[in-house]
Amino acid sequence: MTLDNLLNEIETRELEFKEKPNPALFKTLSAFANTNGGVVFIGVSDKKEITGYRCSNADLKELSDTIVNKLAIHPVIQPVKCDGKTVLRIDVKKSKTPVAYEGRYYSRVGNTTRMMDIEELKEFLISGIEWDGLPSQHGLADIDEETFRHFVRLAKSAGRLPAADEHEPVAAILTRLGLMTGDQLTNAAFLLFGKKQEKYLSDAVLRIGRFKDDAVIIGDRWIDGNLFHQLSEGEEALRSFINVRYEISGETPERKEHWDYPLPALREALMNALVHRDYFKKNEQIMIKVYDDVIWFHNPGGLPKGLSIEQLKAQPQSIPRNPLIARIFYLAGYIERYGSGIQRILTSFTDAGLPEPEFLTDAWGLTLTMRKDILTEEYLAQMGLNERQVKAVMYVKKNGRITNKEFIALTPRKVTGKTASRDLKLLCESGILTQIGTTGKGTYYILSSAGPSKEDIKGT
């Protein structure tokens, strides 16, 4: 794109105009280097008027030397002719290392340059650094050999580590897997197979609580130790906090288990939290809260920048925050395919006929909410629903939606439109249904994502 065309553009995250070199220029260059790179044109006013810039060899050398001295970067600087005047173009690439101007770091947000706050700077400085690959202060004596040998047996059984000898020295296998350099373990090796992590990695723990409501806790588990121990103990804790019923068909002596939630999905969610949490974060743990009708997972580690939940749902992508840990879980057969965890969770719930789990990512990490299907006829009757309303909810569960007309058709004796509207309104007030539309033929009702109220419905 020519300068003439660029003058018709507004300033963006990667484009800015300056009339002459000044401190704001160097802040912008720092921001471009720390973000995605960008282009600055010198000799253009705020009103996009070409004022020009002196571009003698001496001027260019002086500006280039100033940029190098102040920012320690080497942008491409070249004169550009426009409307009979010379404008200076400065192209800055994204830097692999942080670029400061006078001791401060800047970033580009939209078309503005701003100084990073402490949290942004901390995240920026460690971005690109993988915690699990950093050397730890531990050596071979800190490895729990029983756990490690168990991993080797799992990997061989899964066919993913066929050349390993179960009796081969631990150090040799760890070194081959990139988990040990010399006599020093990586963070991944110590967290996966180490002993007494709680003394050194006090935040690398798993907390699982059973809640009656937000104020009443009826069960609490604090699970530490290596990741293999946290996975097995975490699964056991989750099973102990949810319900199971048994079905005996009479055709076989075995009984069939029906859990509140699909166990493969719980296992997948737990593994994802252990593998993908941000172990740089202090004073935070993986938190799992089990309520009567909901399980809430919180992992202090959000998605990689530029990746959304919608993208992961649409197509599996693997950008593991802790690639060494992810690889060990894969070799052990715990992870079937990189990046497919969310799809397996969603599929498990669909196959079980349960509401789709909800994912939310923000600055605090990733939250996963699983809801069980409590909308049985018995439960709805206990809430105080009348027979018409129970039938309506069952209809919505099967068909996805219901209209006022369809509600009337469900009743053995046709009710009035006024009665149908009142019944549906009460279902919405209870939190069971949500109304789509306001009035008229286009109005219909669907299941509410928030779930029913714990209070009985009055006046039914």
Residues 118 and 135 in one domain: no
- Tens digit of pLDDT for each residue in 424-435? 999 999 888 999
Tell the residue number behind the tokens 């009796």, with chain if given: 167
Q: Which of 116-120, 353-357, 413-417, 426-430 comes out lowest in average pLDDT? A: 116-120
pLDDT at 454 > cutoff 50: no
d(CA 136, CA 183): 11
Is-contact 410 432, C-beta < 8 A?
A: no
Judge whether 452 lies within some domain.
Answer: no
Residue that terminates a domain, selected from 77, 98, 126 = 126
Which amino acid, one-letter code, is at 415? V
Residues 6+ apart with CB under 8 A from 401: 436, 444, 445, 446
Judge whether 458 lies within some domain.
Answer: no
Residue that terminates a domain, selected from 354, 373, 392 = 373
pLDDT at 302 > cutoff 90: no
Predicted pLDDT of residue 44? 87
Q: Note every long-range contact of 456-459, with CB atoms under 8 Å and residues 24 or more positions apart, other chains counting.
A: 456/382, 456/383, 456/384, 457/383, 457/384, 457/385, 457/389, 457/426, 457/427, 457/429, 457/430, 458/384, 459/426
Residue 117 backbone phi and psi in degrees, to 5: -80, 180
d(CA 54, CA 17): 16
Q: For position 241, which CATH number holds?
A: 3.30.565.60
Residues 334 and 395 in one domain: no
Residues 39 and 99 in one domain: yes
- What CA–CA distances, in Å, run from 293 to 2, 150, 277? 60, 36, 25
Residues 162 and 218 in one domain: yes
pLDDT at 320 > cutoff 60: yes
Predicted pLDDT of residue 364? 78
- Tens digit of pLDDT for each residue in 245-280? 887 766 666 778 888 999 999 999 999 999 989 888
Judge whether 456 lies within some domain.
Answer: no
Residues 152 and 90 in one domain: no
Predicted pLDDT of residue 206? 93
Judge whether 453 lies within some domain.
Answer: no
Predicted confidence band at 331 (pLDDT cuts at 50, 70, 90)? very high
Residues 286 and 435 in one domain: no
Tell the residue number behind the tokens 């050194």, with chain if given: 200
Residues 316 and 413 in one domain: no
Is-contact 161 331, C-beta < 8 A?
A: yes
How many structural domains compose the chain? 3
Residue 30, CA atoms < 13 Å, CB-side half-sphere: 23
pTM of the complete model:
0.66
Tell the residue number behind the tokens 């949490």, with chain if given: 277
Residues 261 and 326 in one domain: yes
pLDDT at 457 > cutoff 80: no
Using the 8-state DSSP alphabet, how is residue 14 labeled? T
Q: For position 398, which CATH number holds?
A: 1.10.10.10
Which segment, 235-244, 355-364, 402-411, is predicted with the most confidence on average?
235-244
The mean pLDDT value for 120-125 works out to: 74
pLDDT at 112 > cutoff 80: yes
Residues 216 and 116 in one domain: no
Residues 135 and 96 in one domain: no
- What CA–CA distances, in Å, run from 395 to 22, 377, 383, 390, 416? 68, 11, 18, 9, 19
pLDDT at 459 > cutoff 50: no
The mean pLDDT value for 287-312 works out to: 82
Domain that holds residue 390: 377-447
Q: For position 31, which CATH number holds?
A: 3.30.950.30
Question: Angle at Cα 291 formed by Cα 287 and Cα 293, nearest 5°?
Answer: 130
Residues 218 and 107 in one domain: no
Q: Specify burial of residue 252 (Cβ count, 10 A radius: 0-12, 13-18, 19+).
A: exposed
Judge whether 339 lies within some domain.
Answer: yes
Residues 139 and 199 in one domain: yes
Percent of the chain whose pLDDT exceeds 90: 40
Residue that terminates a domain, selected from 339, 373, 407 = 373
